[in-house]
Structure 1
Amino acid sequence: MDNDTTLWRFALRLWRDKRVERVCLRLQDDHGVPVATLLVALWLAAAGRRPDPALGRRLSAHAEGFEERYLRPLRAVRRRAAEDAGAGELKRQIQEAELEGERLLLEQLAGMARTVPGEGSESALGWLLLVVPEMGQCEGLQTLLEQLAAISESRAASE
């Protein structure tokens, strides 16, 4: 976890799994969960890092603020451009900016996560619960997070 790009590479590898993409986008669109918080939680779990509630709150708050200021507005414009048949190039350029924003956010989160305590044996769900504390209040949210944790752990076991 010394190199911030490690999280980016982890995220890209994980995102290639269409199940991960589908669950993350549902969590984002249906429940307002920043995808970056999900990815950093899964990364920390895969690295065997012990869940840290204070860090989970900081990661979640930082990602939420970044999403609100930069990524949600870009996403909204990209979606509007997608509805306009003549705005294909504009949509592509906005999508590139959105992806770069996601990369920058993950880089920031990785930097914050450098302070994570030593090895642990917690599941991915332990970290997901810290970055999405609302999980216990919504059955649909809990189900999606459990699916994401199971997919991540099964991928890790097969790699």
Structure 2
Amino acid sequence: MENNASLWRFALRLWRDKRIEKLCLRLQDEYGVPVAVLLVALWLAEARRRPDAALGRRLVARAEQFEETYLRPLRVVRRRAADEGGGMMELKRQIQEAELEGERLLLARLGELAQTQPGDDSVSALGWLLVVVPEVAQCQGLQTLLEELAALSESRAATG
């Protein structure tokens, strides 16, 4: 499987698609799904790694703990600085940089968990997303967003 630097490049490439960014942020803000988990799931799907519920639970648990400890507090302060405006914009930018570095570290940790996952030719992006977000059966809106994210990711992969 690709190394963590490849995971980071994959995540940045996906994030440049504003539609994917918007869907990931909606899933984070409306449903509490860590963006890093979504990106790792899409990476695993593109790498043709077989979906695994136990791995999905480990990915989510590690991401939620990291988010709670590091990223959510940064996000709160960044948003507060943005709301104040004025001289706080430089502080907002610096916090954004720290938040981005935190996301990179989290992706590296999640990538390490996923390194040994075996391959499978019948893998789909939606298959992995359903593994890491099992609550989908309880919410039609969540399922719709995940289906849209999977379709966008797979169409990007097909076009290079």
What residue number does 2:48 align with? Answer: 48
Is 1:138 the counterpart of 2:139? The answer is yes
What residue number does 1:71 align with? Answer: 71
What residue identity is the alignment partner of 2:15? W
What residue identity is the alignment partner of 2:73? P
What do the CA deviations read for 1:62-112 (whole angstroms, capped 9, x no partner)? 111111111011001000000112201110010000000000000001111
Q: How many residues of Structure 1 are paired with residues of Structure 2 in the alignment? A: 159
Deviation >4 Å, runs of 4+: none
What residue number does 1:14 align with? Answer: 14
CA RMSD in angstroms comes to 0.8
The percent identity for this pair of structures is: 74
What residue number does 2:118 align with? Answer: 117
SS of 2:3's equivalent in the other structure is: coil
Offset of 1:119 from its aligned partner?
A: 2.8
What residue number does 1:62 align with? Answer: 62
- Contact persistence 1:49–1:121 (CA under 8 A): no
What residue number does 2:106 align with? Answer: 105
Deviates further, 97-106 or 45-54:
45-54
Is 1:154 the counterpart of 2:160? The answer is no
Mapped to 2, the partners of 1:69 and 1:133 lie a distance apart of 23
TM-score, length basis structure 2:
0.97
Mapped to 1, the partners of 2:157 and 2:122 lie a distance apart of 14
Q: Which runs of 5 or more residues in structure 2 are unaligned?
A: none
Q: Which runs of 5 or more residues in structure 1 are unaligned?
A: none
Mapped to 2, the partners of 1:115 and 1:68 lie a distance apart of 26
Mapped to 1, the partners of 2:98 and 2:51 lie a distance apart of 32
